[in-house]
C-alpha cells in the first residue's frame, strides 16, 4: 500500500459516521454515512483527440456544462487549439480552476472543453445524481472555501486539492433515494420555469400585436371599442412627459446617505416591472441635492452595458446619472408609457452605437419617435398587459418558493458542515 493510500485510509477511518437530520423511513435504523476522500470517489480525466463534430461546452452555474450555442455563447476554436481540448462524457463533473463560484458542474452532454478545466469521473458504484446534487450544495461549497487555502483569492482549484476533501457518502440505495427525491423537485422546478417562460413568450407575442410594427400606424390587434379609432399619433418620448436625468449627491457627505429614500442605479433594475427598493438610500438632506422622480415614472437605463433596461418606481425616488426617467403627463397612462418603451427598448438601445461606454444622452432619448393612441386606449392596453405581468409575477414567485424549498430540503438530507469539518 502506497504512503498516499495509507494516509487517505487513515484520514477516512479517523472521521466519525454521519447521520443527516432528515432520513427516509427505510434508512432510519441504518448505519451512519461514511466519509471518503475525493480521490477515492473520482478519477481525474485528461482524454484528448476528440472525434469530429463534438460541441464546445460552456461551464456555467445556471446550466452546468452545456453546448455554447444552446445559450447563445459562441467561441472561436481553431483546429490546432482543439488538439489540447479535453473530451467530456455524459455524467462527468467539471471543476473551474480559476474562479470557483458554486459547486462542481455536471455534464449532460458529450463534448469538449478547455484544458483549463479539471474533469472528474465517478469511480465505483453509487448514483451520479447523488453527487450532482451534493456537489452543488452550499454546505459543500462552504467546505471548499474553508479547507482550500487561497480559494477566496481566486487561486486555482486543483485535483490534488479536491482529492484531499472528505465527502459524506451513504449506501448506494440511500444515495439513489436522495437523488430521486431531489430530482423530482428539480422536475417540478423545470416545469414551473417552463410555465414562466411560456407566459413571457406569450406577453412578447401579444405586445407585437398590440403595438404597431415598423412602417405601420395602427396595431394589428385592437380591442373592440377601439377598432375604428384611427391611426396612432406619432410622438416623441419627450411628449409623454418630463424627462429627468438622474444625478448623484456627493459621496463625500455621509449625511446624504442611509435614509429611507431609494437611490436607484441600473443594478437595482431587474427583469421585473417594478423597483420598490434600492441598494443605496438617501436621507432627506441627500434627496434635496438630487432630482426628484415621482412614483410611477419610467426609469430607462441610458448609459453602460445594461442600456435599454427599464422599470417603474413604486415610491418617489432619485436615480444616478445613468438613468433617464420619464415622468408621464396627465395625457398619458403611466403603465402604457412603461410598456411602449419596453417594446421599443431594443431599438432605442441601438442608438448608442458601438463605443467603449454606450450612451444615449437626454436630448437624443427625448427625441425618439414612438406611436401612441389616445388616453383611453392607452389605459386599456396597460390594463391588459398589467394583468399578464401580475400572472407572470405570481408564477415566478412559485418558482422561487420551490427553489427555497429545495435548499431547505438539502440542508436536512445532507449532514451538517460541523459534522463534516475535520
Cα–Cα nearest to 15, from 177, 172, 169: 169
How many other CB atoms are there within 10 angstroms of residue 363's CB atom? 9
Question: In degrees, to the nearest 5, what angle opens at C-alpha 187 toward C-alphas 183 and 193?
Answer: 135
Question: Residue by residue, what is the 3-state secondary structure of 90-156?
Answer: CCCEEEECCCCCCCCEEECCCEEECCCEEEEEECCCCCHHHHHHHCCCHHHHHHHHHHCCCHHHCCC
Instruction: Specify the pLDDT at position 60.
Output: 77
- CATH superfamily name and code, 3-170: DNA methylase specificity domains (3.90.220.20)
Residue 312: DSSP 8-state:
E
Q: Is residue 118 a contact partner of residue 162, using CB atoms and an 8 Å limit?
A: yes
Three-state DSSP at 63 gives coil
Matching residue, cell 404597431: 212
Q: pLDDT (tens digit, 0 to 9) for every residue of the chain, 422 residues total?
A: 555 555 555 566 667 789 999 999 999 999 999 999 999 999 999 998 778 888 888 887 777 788 877 766 555 666 667 778 999 999 999 987 554 555 688 999 999 988 888 999 999 888 899 999 998 888 888 777 665 555 555 556 788 888 988 999 999 999 999 999 999 999 999 999 999 999 999 999 999 999 999 999 999 999 999 999 999 999 999 999 999 999 999 999 999 999 999 999 999 999 889 999 999 999 999 999 999 999 999 999 999 999 999 999 999 999 999 999 999 999 999 999 999 999 999 999 999 988 888 999 999 999 999 999 999 999 999 999 999 999 999 999 999 999 999 999 999 999 875 654 44
Instruction: Specify the pLDDT at position 161.
Output: 85
Interstrand relation of 323-328 and 298-301 (parallel, antiparallel or unpaired): antiparallel
Helix (H) or strand (E) holding 300: strand 298-301
Measure the CA dihedral 60/65/68/69, to 10°.
Answer: -120
Q: Is residue 360 a contact partner of residue 307, using CB atoms and an 8 Å limit?
A: yes
Question: In degrees, to the nearest 5, what angle opens at C-alpha 329 toward C-alphas 219 and 268?
Answer: 85
Burial code of 110-132, b = ≥16 C-beta within 10 A, e = fewer? Answer: bbbbbeebbbbebeeebbebbbb
Cα–Cα nearest to 362, from 334, 309, 323: 323
Instruction: Specify the pLDDT at position 75.
Output: 59
What does each C-alpha distance from 4 to 11, 15, 38, 48, 233 come to in angstroms? Answer: 11, 17, 13, 27, 79
Helix (H) or strand (E) holding 242: strand 241-245
CA–CA separation, 128 and 106 (whole Å): 9
Q: Is residue 287 a contact partner of residue 264, using CB atoms and an 8 Å limit?
A: no
Instruction: Specify the pLDDT at position 14.
Output: 62
How many other CB atoms are there within 10 angstroms of residue 303's CB atom? 20
Kindly list the domain boundaries of the chain, sorted by start residue. Answer: 3-170, 233-372
The C-alpha cell of 244 is what? 429627468
CATH code that applies to domain 233-372: 3.90.220.20
CA–CA separation, 422 and 418 (whole Å): 9
Do 3-170 and 233-372 fold alike per CATH?
yes
Amino acid at each position: 500500500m502506497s504512503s498516499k493510500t495509507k494516509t487517505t485510509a487513515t484520514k477516512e477511518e479517523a472521521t466519525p459516521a454521519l447521520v443527516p437530520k432528515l432520513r427516509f423511513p427505510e434508512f432510519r435504523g441504518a448505519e451512519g454515512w461514511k466519509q471518503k476522500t475525493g480521490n477515492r470517489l473520482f478519477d481525474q480525466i485528461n482524454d484528448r483527440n476528440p472525434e469530429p463534430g463534438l460541441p464546445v461546452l460552456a461551464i456555467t452555474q445556471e446550466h452546468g456544462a452545456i453546448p455554447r450555442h444552446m445559450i447563445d455563447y459562441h467561441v472561436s476554436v481553431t483546429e490546432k487549439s482543439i488538439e489540447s481540448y479535453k473530451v467530456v462524457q455524459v455524467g462527468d463533473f467539471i471543476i473551474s480552476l480559476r474562479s470557483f463560484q458554486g459547486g462542481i458542474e455536471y455534464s449532460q452532454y458529450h463534448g469538449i472543453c478547455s484544458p483549463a478545466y479539471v474533469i472528474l469521473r465517478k469511480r465505483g458504484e453509487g448514483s451520479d445524481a447523488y453527487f450532482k446534487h451534493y456537489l452543488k450544495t452550499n454546505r459543500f461549497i462552504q467546505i471548499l472555501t474553508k479547507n482550500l487555502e487561497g480559494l477566496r483569492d481566486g487561486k486555482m482549484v486543483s485535483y490534488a486539492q479536491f482529492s484531499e476533501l472528505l465527502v459524506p457518502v451513504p449506501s448506494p440505495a440511500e444515495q439513489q433515494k436522495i437523488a430521486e427525491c431531489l430530482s423530482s423537485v428539480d422536475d417540478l422546478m423545470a416545469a414551473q420555469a417552463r410555465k414562466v417562460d411560456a407566459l413571457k413568450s406569450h406577453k412578447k407575442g401579444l405586445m407585437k400585436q398590440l403595438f404597431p410594427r415598423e412602417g405601420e400606424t395602427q396595431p394589428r390587434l385592437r380591442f373592440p371599442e377601439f377598432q375604428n379609432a384611427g391611426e396612432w399619433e406619432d410622438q416623441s418620448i419627450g411628449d409623454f412627459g418630463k424627462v429627468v436625468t438622474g444625478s448623484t449627491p456627493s459621496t463625500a457627505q455621509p449625511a446624504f446617505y442611509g435614509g429611507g429614500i431609494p437611490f436607484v442605479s441600473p443594478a437595482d433594475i431587474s427583469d421585473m416591472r417594478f423597483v420598490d427598493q434600492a441598494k443605496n438610500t438617501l436621507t432627506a438632506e441627500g434627496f434635496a441635492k438630487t432630482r426628484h422622480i415621482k412614483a410611477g415614472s419610467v426609469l430607462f437605463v441610458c448609459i453602460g452595458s445594461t442600456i435599454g433596461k427599464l422599470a417603474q418606481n413604486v415610491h418617489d425616488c432619485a436615480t444616478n446619472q445613468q438613468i433617464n426617467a420619464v415622468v408621464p403627463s396627465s395625457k398619458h397612462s403611466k403603465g402604457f408609457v412603461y410598456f411602449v418603451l419596453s417594446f421599443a427598448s431594443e431599438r432605442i438601445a441601438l442608438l448608442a452605437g458601438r463605443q467603449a461606454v454606450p450612451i444615449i444622452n437626454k436630448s437624443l432619448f427625448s427625441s425618439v419617435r414612438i406611436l401612441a393612441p389616445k388616453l383611453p386606449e392607452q389605459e386599456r392596453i396597460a390594463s391588459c398587459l398589467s394583468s399578464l405581468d401580475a400572472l407572470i409575477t405570481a408564477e415566478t414567485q412559485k418558482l422561487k418558493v420551490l427553489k427555497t424549498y429545495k435548499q431547505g430540503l438539502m440542508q436536512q438530507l445532507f449532514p451538517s458542515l460541523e459534522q463534516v469539518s475535520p
